[in-house]
Each structure stands twice: as C-alpha cells, then as structure tokens.
Structure 1
C-alpha cells in the first residue's frame, strides 16, 4: 500500500541561489548568537557575489569544482555557501569536530580543490598556501550561475557526508532541486520559520541550555518552534514533520507535501496499516545518489525510485507514522551519527582484543545515546579495569571526541552472531540493560 501526502504544493524547479537569495525577503538577517554580529540579506547577496568573483578571478575556480567548509556555525558561513553556489560550484561540509584523518578522507573523497577553514583549526602551523578569507573577496560582483529546470534536477549543489553502518562515510549528492524542494516542503506551514524571519545562529550543534536561554533573552526571540520530525541526509534532511497537536507523541508525524511512502516486508511485499516493516520513501527531495559509489546507490534506491531507509516503521489508520526500530545500527550521540563498524574496526586492531561489538546505550543524564563496546579478549589476556582504560585511550587517539566509548566497555566471552556472521546487536542491547541498569554510574 502506497501512502501519499495529504497536501501537494507547487514547487519551483530552479537553482539554490535563484530560489533562496534572489527571491528572499530583504529584511531577513542572520545573527551570531555569541558575538552579536549580523548579516543582512542585502549584504549576503553582495558578499556572496564578490566571493564568487574572487574564487573565479583569484583562485581559478571552475563550474563544478568542490569547495570544503571546515568551520563551526558563524555568520560568514552562508556567504561561503552561496558564494560557491553563485560561482557554479559544489559545497562539501566538514564536521568541525573531525580528526585530521577524518578531514583528510573527506577532502580526498569529495575531490575538494579548495577549503575555507576557521583559523582555530590551523594548529599554529605555518602553511604558505593559506590565504586570509578576505583575500578571496573581489571588488566586483559576479552574476550568479543560473540553472534550467533540468539542470537544477541533475546538478549537485551540496555534498554532505552520511555515516553508514558499513565502511567509510559516503558522500551524498544533493541537487539544487532537492534543496529547493525540501525547503518549500517544510516551509509551507505558515506557523513555521520562513524566508521572512531573522535567524540567530549558535556556534555548535550540541545543545547548551544556559547559552540557549541567554540567547532567547538577549535577542528577544519570540518564536522557538520545537517539532518532532524524521529525515536523513539522503532525502534532503526531512521527510516527515509533526505539525498537529493531536498526533500521538511517539509519532514522527505525517509525510511532507509531494512525497510517497510505503512499508514493506522482508520479501518486499507492501504492507498496510499497523503492520511493521521497512520504511521506503520517494519524492523530489530524494538525493541524486552517493558520490562515485554506484553499488551503494543501487543498494538504497531501487529502479522505481524508492529509497530504502533501513528503518522499521508502521502507520496507523489516521496516517501517522511511527519508527519502531532502526535496522541501520547508527548511534546518535548529541546530534552526531556514530558508526559502530568504524569503532569495531579500531577495537579489533588492538593487540589484546579478539572480537568486539559496539552498540548505543542511553544516558538519561545527558539525554543521548553513547557508544558502548562489548569486548572478547584473546586467550591468556586477563580482564581488568586497567585494560579497559587502556582500550578507551587507544580508541580516543583515533577518533573524534563524539565517537569515544563514552558508554563504557564490557567484557564478554564471545560476541553473539548469526549463522552468517552478523553481530546480534539486539541480544547485546537486551543484555546490557540487565547487566548495567545504571551504566553511567558503573562504567
């Protein structure tokens, strides 16, 4: 059974710059919540065109080139994005908490020719090739590249990286049309933030309550919408939004406009109301594909255009959707996605470890999942708290802070696996609840 949006809207098929800058409200402003620095739409338009001219004139930037941004949130961020887009380029976003190895991987995989970096990440190194950001800005304003409807549908604008359950992170190619579509889909509700609003930016993705409250007070923020929603990088971030107050609290809401959804069994059969199965989505917001990875693209998007989310869901008779479980085993730590297989690969390279499995455990005090590891030691290696600490340090040296084993380490005789060799994470999740009901205190 295919479930369709209850509402369809007219969505312009055009380039990101054309849709978001040329047609936005002149009064819109970005405000740095920490410094108070402001960026009006007029200045964003002018600065992005000057940056585009500088990229072309001073850096030899060509249409289709990739520029990486390695920086936390700040008011210059939109200028770099739209300056790159105006020059006909592609933007790839590098997590500001990445390690050197993680940054290097994304830069190489994305094919980035240029990187705009926050000065605090240079580590006081003398690098001749680095130029100040102001160097790139030209005195002239370039005419932004415009796209026909067909070009908007096929041309990549953003290259974000999605943590996968296997292997390295994959580059998600999001087209101009994908982005414009999804913004129109989530902005069609008159009660929500739209192009007429001023936006206060916070520097980091993690939620800090005192700073959040101070920002609301200082800037007299009069609209703080909190919405339950569901989405992924692969479908331009959002596919379901919970708008109505009468929708059950555990529901992710209803599909956004202009999309289709279905729930299928393990054999691919379409299911009906209140039947649990894999959630599949289809619509103009679904990605173009994974960069240089046809095998992964074909594994997730079938020949009818359905994206297979890997999440187990159901829908009630009122059209409200619910996520029941994640067949994708990603751990979500404070807004970041952590791949268990990446951590398992590192753990299994330790000289004392025979096998390892990583799962997410919920830390009530922090209101987030934390990566925890079950470890099977090699013969003649003794379990000890000292060894746990050594293993934790071993991992910490090789990953970003949010990927550390903050959920702790537990020893186990043997990692439970299926006949095909797949880790039985559900068994481990059930086990850890019995072994450590207050695990944050016991690790």
Structure 2
C-alpha cells in the first residue's frame, strides 16, 4: 500500500538546475553566495551567475556539447559551484569524483562515464596523470593553474558568446555521481535536471527559511550528492551564504561556525558525535546555530539529544539536532525532520530524535517484506520503497542493476529497513544486507552501535556479523575505539552490552581499533572491517 506524504504536493518548475538555483543572482546580486571558510574570499550571487555564464561559454567554445560528460575531481571551494553550474548551463553532465580516490578508481570512473574533460586542482595532479594514462580524456583543466594545462581563470576570461542550450529537464542529465560501491562496483547514477530541481523545491516546505539570513557551513563534500544538493544547491537557491571547508577538521569547523555566524549545519553522525563529546567544543561560541541536521547514516536518539543538550547549555540558543534520510539514487532526500513550525498540516510538533521525520512533499513510500514482496502491517519493519520526482533515471550502462533497484512502477527499492509510526514518522533501522541473522532473529548493527556509543569510555564503534563455522550462525562483533585514557577490556564491553540488550543481540566478540573506517559522507565501511578481520 502506497503511503503518501503528509505534506501537500508542491509545484516543480520545469527549468534547468542553474535557472532555478541561481535565481538569487537577479534579486540579491550583491549578497554573499559563497565564502571560503579558511581564507574569507567571497563570491556574490551576482558574480556567481556571471562566472557560470563564462564557464559555460568556454566549455562550448572548446567543442563540448549537450550530454558530454565533464568529470570534476576537487575538494570543496567556493569555485566548485561555479564549475558545476557552468557545466550544467552548457548542457553537459558533471560527474563528481571522490577526493580520496586512487588513480585506478579515478580511471574506472573516467572510463565508465565517458568523460571528455577532467577539471581538478594542482595537489591532485599526480593522481590525475596516473589515471588518464589508463583512461585518456581530451583535456585536463587545473583550476588553480599548472604548466601545460588551462586554468579556471582561462575559462572565466573567455570572450566567447554566451550559450543557450535547449534542455529537457525531465530527460536530460545534469550530474552523474557514482554510488559508494558498498554493494559491488560503483555505478553511475543518472540524475536529471528535474531530479535536482525537484529535491530542492521539496525541501523548502520543511524549512523555516530566513530570507537573506541563511548561512550554511559546507564541510560535507560537494562530490557527494548530499553536499551537492542539500548544502550547495539548496543553500544557494534560498539566497543564502554557503561557507566552504575543504575537509573536516574539528577546530576549523567550530571556528567557522563561530566567526561566520553559521545558522545551519548539515552533517553526518561522526560530526554529531564530536559535537556531543569532544572537549574542544566548549572553547567556541556556537550560539548562532539554529539547526543541525544529520544524514548519510543513522543517528541514534540518545546521541542527538546529548549533542542538543550540550550546545544549549550556557548558551542563549534554541538549536535543534535532527536527521533526514536519502541516498544518491534519490537526489538525495526523501525524508527529513522539519524545522519547528514547518510540520505537515495537523501534525504534532515533536518528532522523535531517532526518526528521520516525514516523507517530503510529492513522495510516496511503501514498507515491504524483503522475503515475500508484500507490504508489512502497520508498525512493522520492512524495506523502504520510495516513489517521487527525485528518483533517479537509472544506472548508466547497467540495465540489470537498474531493474534490480527501480521497478516498472517507479518504486526505488532502497535496501534500507524502516518502520513508520501512526504519526507518519519514519525510522530507518538498518540495511537489508547488513542485518545480522542469529537464531532466526534479525539484529541491526546500527542499533548495537548506538548502545555502544552510550558508554562514556567509547569514542566510536562499529558492529558486523561474523560467521561461527560450527553453528553456521552470525554473531555480533564490535569494533571499538576507546576514549582517551580508557582501560576498557573486551569483557567489560560485553558485560555492558549484556545489561542493555536482549540475549540474541549481545556482543560476542570485541576488537579495539584506532579508528572506524568511514566514507566521506560518514557511512561505516563494514566491508573493510569484514575484509580485515
């Protein structure tokens, strides 16, 4: 049974991504659009629109045409949106490459996407050269300049005429991000102009937007769809200021929030964990923050509350800590917790902290038993299926993977296990493929990780299932990062868990590690833990 959103549908403009996102360039041209968090360099909304026009013209003058793929391999800078929207305005497709990728991984994406041009920065040039030896491109643009390569300044200084490309928002691709590869080789996710415009518009009703006063810290990478849509495009579309950081460093992050008077932080759970537990937080004034929204991985209720309570102590601030849900194939958001006062008509104001909130406008959901394919009864767990205008077009050159994920009725099978309560609040409990099967029970690693993080001497934790050969059962194993000065033993961790969870959920093995491996978006890389055990 399809469960509609509790929000009324919103109208989705039939326009390109740049046409929608850059509209503030005409209404607030002198307002700051982008700020370098470390250097302070600023690009106004008017300058952004002008720069985008020049990049599009330069790409067109170099022979690129509608549908051509331009790969971007670059950390967050104020110039990243200039490049993205310039590519989009030229009718081309931007394929963002993870800044941590090796030459082999870069080459795979260049080859698979068919990229004709690669735009990068000089510190990444060694990896780029090694990659293009395997997968050649027509040209490498080095944004900050390098001998033998055109720079971003060369593109911006072109005198080529402006271009007007006939874009069909519903069909034409604007970006081709690659999925994380946690379930096999990375796959190119085909996202259209309509997908991204829809998602930006869908988020507007859940936000109490302070026109001209939204200041968003962009530390999550723009090469990830969360950063690209939620931080970058959504921030610019509301006429706000997006303050960039090239990587996460806690002290830089806190200082930028303080000095730039940041109002919104979109983060991943590891950052919430740092805000809740790290002593450095107390040295900075974070009172400008109104909301912290976590995504990319489940955020436990107790951790969200601990972070919120800590930031409210001794500060005249009403900051709230909440979470949303999405995935690359959803452009990325399908569910989120609204700002206070932006709840669906007739809904209660309080959304449980462990919940990902409500389905966005224009979004339908189903909860399906993975074994039977039937919808589960109310209040029971099932795989979350989503249908809406933010659902991807499919996977590039991979009809089988597309058919396995996106069915003929337009339902995207997320692979995530969720439950919805009587108020329309969704809670995502784990991945279908990550559930630990023990004596007929399904044990969710994320649930056990949340309990582990409640221990004051545990700084971080991850849980996987390990096979016991004699019984054939999967047993929960915890990888634990001790807090500074802790003398925890495996026995004390197991005793702690035994007092907190049902017998079938008890941790059976404990291994102490220095750091939990995570993706740039904050997802635990369980496959690395399984490979190393």
Bin for the TM-score computed over the shorter chain:
0.7 to 0.9
Change (3 A) 1:249 1:124: closer
Q: Residue 16 of structure 2 aligns with which residue?
A: 15
The superposition leaves residues 240-263 of structure 1 with CA deviations (integer Å, 9 ceiling, x where unpaired) of 001255111111111011110010
The answer to whether residue 99 in structure 2 is matched with residue 96 in structure 1 is yes
Measure, in 1, the Cα distance between the counterparts of 2:186 and 2:128. Answer: 28
| 2:198 and 2:390 in contact (8 A); partners too | yes
Superposition map of 1:144-293 within 5 A? 144-147=164-167, 151-192=168-209, 193=214, 194=235, 195-204=238-247, 206=248, 208-223=249-264, 224=289, 225-227=291-293, 228-243=323-338, 246-265=350-369, 266-293=371-398
What residue number does 1:390 align with?
none
Q: Which residue of 2 aligns with 1:136?
A: 155
Q: Distance in 1 between matches of 2:33 and 2:63?
A: 31
Give the 3 Å change call, closer, same or farther, for CA 278–222 of structure 1 in structure 2.
closer
Does the 8 A contact of 2:464 with 2:476 survive in 1?
Answer: no
Corresponding residue of 2:4: 4
**Residues 65, 415 of structure 1: alpha-carbon distance in 2 compared, 3 angstrom cutoff:** farther
Give the alignment's TM-score, normalised by structure 2.
0.63
Scaled by the length of structure 1, the TM-score of the pair is 0.75
RMSD across aligned positions (CA): 3.1
Query: Please, which moves more after superposition, 360-369 or 292-301?
Result: 360-369
**Aligned residue for 2:510?**
436
Q: 255-264 or 235-244: which moved more? A: 235-244
Alpha-carbon separation, structure 2, partners of 1:181 and 1:316: 26
Shift of 1:431: 9.5
Deviation of 1:165 after TM superposition, in Å, equals: 4.0
C-alpha contact (below 8 Å) 2:94/2:175 kept by paired residues? yes
Structure 1: stretches of 5+ with no match in the other structure: 331-358, 375-411, 418-423
- Tell me how far apart the structure 2 counterparts of residues 278 and 431 of structure 1 sit (CA, whole Å): 21
CA distance in 1, matches of 2:34, 2:428: 34
Q: Is the 8 A contact 2:71 2:110 kept in 1?
A: yes
Relative to structure 1, the CA distance from residue 196 to residue 132 in structure 2 (aligned partners, 3 Å threshold; closer, same or farther) is closer
Partner of 2:64: 61
Change in CA separation of 1:439 and 1:98 when aligned onto 2, cut-off 3 Å? closer
Q: SS of the residue aligned with 2:54?
A: helix
Contact 1:49–1:144 (CA under 8 A) maintained in structure 2: no
Deviation at 1:22, TM superposition (A): 3.7
* Structure 2 CA distance for partners of 1:368 and 1:122, relative to 1, 3 Å: farther
**Counterparts of 2:128 and 2:6, CA distance in 1:** 56
1:289–1:218 Cα change, 3 Å: same
Cα distance between partner residues in 2 of 1:426 and 1:79: 49
Query: What aligned pairs does 1:345-364 form with structure 2 within 5 A after superposition?
Result: 364=453
Write the deviation string for residues 134-163 of structure 1: whole angstroms up to 9, x where unpaired. Answer: 22331245134243xxx2111110100112
Number of the residue aligned with 1:400: none
CA displacement at 1:202 relative to structure 2: 1.4
Extract structure 1 runs of 4+ deviating beyond 4 A: 124-129, 359-374, 412-417, 424-432, 437-441
User: 1:326-354 CA deviation, whole Å, 9 max, x = no partner?
Assistant: 11449xxxxxxxxxxxxxxxxxxxxxxxx
SS across alignment from 2:111: helix
> Which of 1 and 2 has higher RCO (CA within 8 Å, sep 6+)?
1
CA distance in 1, matches of 2:171, 2:361: 21
Cα 1:181–1:415, aligned 2, differ >3 Å: closer, same or farther? farther
For structure 2, which runs of at least 5 residues remain unmatched after alignment?
130-145, 215-234, 265-288, 294-322, 341-348, 436-444, 479-503, 516-532
Distance 2:240 2:470 in 1: 52
Displacement of 1:437 in angstroms is: 6.6
